[in-house]
Amino acid sequence: MSKSKSSSTEEKDGASASQLIDAKISELGDWRGETLARVRTLVKQAIPDVVEEWKWSVPVWSHAGIICTGETYKKAVKLTFPKGASLEDPSGLFNSSLEGNTRRAIDFHEGDKIDEKALKTLIRAAAALNSSSAR
């Protein structure tokens, strides 16, 4: 059995969420695809039993609720944390959607170095918040 589970509310042509994410990464074919692939790997390393989903035409990673989404734009790969305002961010990773009351995001631009340790800590915190909220 695979460590990461796949489910989807928007499966296309029978493709699983993981297959749709693979296709998105391949389709991008540039630094954005590489960044999305790297972030995906870090999410899976941080939460080995994370569920990959495909919602709103973007990758979604869940564990007792949505941890984050991975959107791609012309000049950025954006990780949006729906409950980000409730998370500690001692490394200052959040750099987008800071004005909102609930969500926070991290925009990665071409050439940015990912603070992998801090990102994994943030991902684990988001999963822990989901788990504590689910009780």
- Does the pLDDT value for residue 2 go beyond 60? no
Burial of 7 (0-12, 13-18, 19+ CB in 10 A): middle
Q: State yes or no: pLDDT of 135 exceeds 70.
A: no
Output the pLDDT for position 134: 66
Report d(CA 10, CA 96) in Å as an integer.
27
Least confident piece of the model among 1-10, 36-45, 47-56, 105-114: 1-10
Task: Specify the length of the chain in residues.
Answer: 135
d(CA 96, CA 104): 6
User: What's the mean per-residue pLDDT of the chain?
Assistant: 91
Instruction: Using alpha carbons, select from 50, 57, 64, 46 the residue that is nearest to residue 21.
Output: 57
Query: What is the set of domains in the chain, with CATH numbers?
Result: 5-134 (3.90.1150.200)
